[in-house]
Structure formats: structure tokens, C-alpha cells
Amino acid sequence: MIKTIYPTKDTTIYQNSASINTGLDEILEIGKIISASGTAGVKNSRALLQFDTSELSASFSQRGIHTGSAVGNLKYYLKMYISEEKDVPASYNIAAYYLEKSWDMGIGKKSHYPSTTGGCNWVYTKADNSVAWDAEGGDYQQAVCVASQSFTNIQGDLELDITGMVEKWNTGTSNYGIIVRRSGSEETNDTEYGILNYYSRETHTIYPPRIE
């Protein structure tokens, strides 16, 4: 049996436009750019997603399957579908981490001018900019990579095994969602890694992100 749920919210946060909100964009971006002059340094973008996994628990319970007692027997995968790849190398890695603070999706788009600031961004978690991330770029357990995926000469659709993450949510760990970013030093070194655009929950296609 396969059960599918979709995000209750998602957005992209941008280091190079740290105050903008993009909660209503049809695209989630995971990127890394380096200025041509090198003087502006590395600028990253990361995707944030949150799912109501109680939907899964309720659906399984109706079928006599209890997520708490079925630990080890159920598998959960985060799937994200690529829309466009820009200047991406032949090989790269994507990783997912637990978010540790609540955040507002917001109502902005990257294309808005003037930009919309109501919602989370690289610096703040809340629509009124009243609460900052403890560390800019999102609060997450950097030492605990929940899942990662490597790509070599293939299109970048993501399928991350986040079973351990969902099991923790099902047994009482606070669910603030997932942050998806380039893995490890691929965010910090001086190598250009380009941009990956994935369909968001706002897409008008059949490819929104999901957990299955």
C-alpha cells in the first residue's frame, strides 16, 4: 500500500536576497552561486517543507496499522521533482535535515517588486520579522543529516529515505519540517554548483513534492 501526502507549506530562502519571502512561488530552489568577481562570495538557496504526518497515521490506523508499533515495517520517502537545472555539475549531492524552529510560509514570490517580506526568509522565521533564526539560513541539526542523495550524470529528481525522521515525528518529536540543501562543503567551497529548481506545492502541474 502506498499513501501520499503533500506539504502543508513550503518555501525557498535566499542568502543573496536575505529579506525576501517566496512562499507562493511555484518553484523550490536549491542553489549555490558565486559572484563573477568573487568579491561577493558564495550565495546559497535552501528549500523548506513541512508535512502533516498525522494524515499518514490516521490513514494507516483505519487499516489497523499503528505507526508507533509498526516502527521498522513502514518506509517514508520525500520526493521532489525537477523543473530545471542551471549550470549544474555532472556530480553533486543533496541532503535533508530536521528543522528546529517553527516558520511562516508567507505570501511572497521571487518575482515580486517591490519584494514581499511577510513570511520566513534567510534571516527571520516569522511574517512580521519578530523572530530570527538562531543561525541565518535556518535552524537545523547540522550534525544530523537525515538523508542524502548523490547524482552523477542523471536528472535530479529527489527520492530521500526519511523514514527515521517520520518515525520520530510519529512518536512525539516536534515536527517543524525539513530543510533541503546542498551537502556539506558543496555549500561552502569555491566550486560553482549551479541551481536546481523543483516544483513546489503551488505548482499547476502534477509534480508537487510529497511523502510516500
Cell of 85: 537545472
For 1-19, the pLDDT digits (tens) are 688 999 999 999 999 888 8
Choose among 170, 174, 173, 211: nearest CA to 61: 170
Distance CA 31, CA 194 (A): 6
With beta carbons less than 8 A apart as the criterion, state whether 179 and 48 touch.
yes
Burial (0-12, 13-18, 19+ Cβ within 10 Å), 166: buried
> In angstroms, what CA-CA distances link 77 with 21, 157, 163?
27, 12, 7
What nine digits make up the cell of 74?
Answer: 513502514
Calculate Rg over the CA atoms of the chain: 17
Q: Which residue has the higher pLDDT, 105 or 63?
A: 105
On whether the CB atoms of residues 85 and 155 are closer than 8 A, the answer is yes
Q: Give the pLDDT score at 69.
A: 45
Residues 151, 98: Cα–Cα separation, whole Å = 22
> pLDDT tens for residues 123-171?
999 988 889 999 999 999 888 899 999 999 887 899 999 999 999 998 8
Cis upstream peptide for 114 (omega within 30°): yes
DSSP SS3 for 14: strand
At 38, is the pLDDT very low, low, confident or very high (cuts 50, 70, 90)?
low
Please tell me which of 37-46, 50-59, 92-101, 112-121 the model is most confident about, judged by mean pLDDT. 92-101
98, 178 contact by CB (below 8 A): yes
pTM, two decimal places: 0.89
Angle at which helices 163-170 and 54-62 cross, to 10°: 80
Q: 76-116, pLDDT tens digit by residue?
A: 999 999 999 999 989 999 999 999 999 999 999 988 877 77
Enumerate the β-bridge partners of residue 86: 195
Helices (H) and strands (E) in the chain — how many of each?
Answer: 2, 11
Q: How many CA atoms lie within 13 A of 198 on its CB side?
A: 29
